[in-house]
Amino acid sequence: MNSGWDVLLLDCRLATLGRNGEPHGAIERAALAWKDGVITYVGAQHDLPGPPERLAARIESADSAWITPGLIDCHTHLVFGGDRADEFDRRLNGASYEEIARAGGGILSSVRATREANEENLFAQSLPRARALLADGVTTIEIKSGYGLDLENELKMLRVARRISRELGIGVRTTLLAAHALPPEFNGRTDDYIDHLCADVLPAAAREGLADAVDAFCERIAFTPEQTRRVFAKAREFGLPVKLHADQLSDLGGAALAAEFGALSADHLEWTSDAGVRAMATAGTVAVLLPGAFYALRETKLPPIDALRAAGVPIAIATDLNPGTSPLLSLRLAMNMACTLFHMTPEEALRGATVNAARALGLADRGTLEVGKRADFVLWNIERPADLCYWIGGGLVRSVFAQGRAQDAAIRNRS
Ligand code: DI6
Ligand code: FE
């Protein structure tokens, strides 16, 4: 007879990321158990409520491996057609991201390739990128649309994102980012495009259950605060939470605008002012920092990290995986960059890729190792949690579990 747990893992070192007074919420000489994909025990091995064989159907040893919650990449654009290697070349030769965008390249070149790809092909192009994240310890991914920019192609992107979740057995949260760029057929008619988005695209995505949230690119090369406000008001009508690409290239007051709508997160934030930080703190909006884009664009203006810390704004770290400004296939590398470029501590970076990332997605059921949370976790080949930020690249994953199931086959089966 056992008390009904599916698996009991002994000899663990747990970085729970809960708050138990220890750095990383660590518990050594620990045990972890789960049932039906949900954690049922987290704690010291000697506190187990009985002999292991009475507790679980299966008992295994982690051989003292460090275990963290599954990493959460809370900002990606990983569904897209083609790539932008040519643009990388142009930027290396001196062209700026804004110049390329204004000349019809940039996001619009990915829009062309994404529209050209049928759903099957778009899925086949995107799946390996999700696998790469998973292989590096990510068990929940947010995926934005925004390279379709019309009804048919935005919904196609969101369906592909949902299919990636089913295919890999990991969590995917979808975000409608139809307000990413102005599609060529609306040239010179930005407000008409926003009308179309609000009247057709957003309602269809909501009705079909394809969008978990709504995002916009509020920027001088994209949409104004006023246009963003209209999109957010429509999202609110449909009960969808919002997020915002805010203050990446200039300060248009994006952080404060996001806060005004109770956004889950405001993302990028290089140019965010003190007033924007205060508004985020009051609204409980998470700051999502994206060091991959900062690095790839050779940005020098740092997001206001000290002000965010001082105001108590939770900080999340994500890859921003996209073909233009952040072709970054490792969340762990983003964590390393958060330390090196943004002067965050390894613990802040790890909290940023777990508990705070969950919050940026409005997910209360994951991000820490605690009873009742999803059994999403990673066994690592490391000596201490900070090693996840210290090593640059390399494969540190021993195994990845999503809802209690080992993902090793999904990782190996690279297409
Ligand atoms: N900000 C970003 O970092 C990405 N989108 C955005 O609004 C870049 C997207 C791209 O260049 O394809
Ligand atoms: Fe982005």
Q: What is the per-residue pLDDT for 2?
A: 62
If we measure between CA atoms, which residue out of 390, 386, 331, 341 comes closest to residue 139?
A: 331
CA angle 291, 65, 332 (to 5 degrees): 10
**375 closest CA partner among 88, 8, 1:** 8
pLDDT confidence of residue 69: 98
**How much is the average pLDDT of 38-54?**
97
Of 98, 126, 176, 180, which is best to mutate to test ligand 1, by the most ligand atoms within 8 angstroms of its C-beta?
Answer: 180
Digit-coded pLDDT (tens) for 263-280: 999 999 999 999 999 999
Give 291-360 as a DSSP string: HHHHHHTT------HHHHHHHT--EEE----BTTTB----HHHHHHHHHHHH---HHHHHHHTTHHHHHH
pLDDT score, position 104: 83
pLDDT at 413: 62
What would the pLDDT profile of 354-364 be if each residue is shown by its tens digit? 999 999 999 99
Q: Give pLDDT, residue 163.
A: 98
Tell me the CA–centroid distance for residue 322 and ligand 2, in Å: 7
Q: In the structure, what pLDDT confidence band is assigned to residue 9 with cuts at 50, 70 and 90?
A: very high
Tell me what pLDDT residue 415 has. Answer: 41
Over 50: is that where the pLDDT of 18 sits? yes
Residue at 238: amino acid letter: F
Q: What is the mean pLDDT of the chain?
A: 96
218-249 per-position pLDDT tens digit: 999 899 999 999 999 999 999 999 999 999 99
Residue nearest to atom 8 of ligand 1 (CA): 325
Lowest-confidence region among 64-68, 345-349, 410-414: 410-414
Mutate to test the pocket of ligand 1, among 320, 321, 326 (most ligand atoms within 8 A of CB): 320
Q: pLDDT tens digits for 246-266? A: 999 999 999 999 999 999 999
Please determine, for residue 371, whether its predicted confidence score (pLDDT) is greater than 60. yes
* Residues sharing a CB contact under 8 Å with residue 167, sequence separation 6 or more, in sequence order: 127
pLDDT band at 411 (very low <50, low <70, confident <90, very high): confident
Instruction: Report the percent of the chain where pLDDT is more than 90.
Output: 95
Q: What is the distance in A from the centroid of ligand 2 to the CA of 320?
A: 5
What does the pLDDT read at residue 101? Answer: 87
Which atom in ligand 1 lies closest to the alpha carbon of residue 80? 12
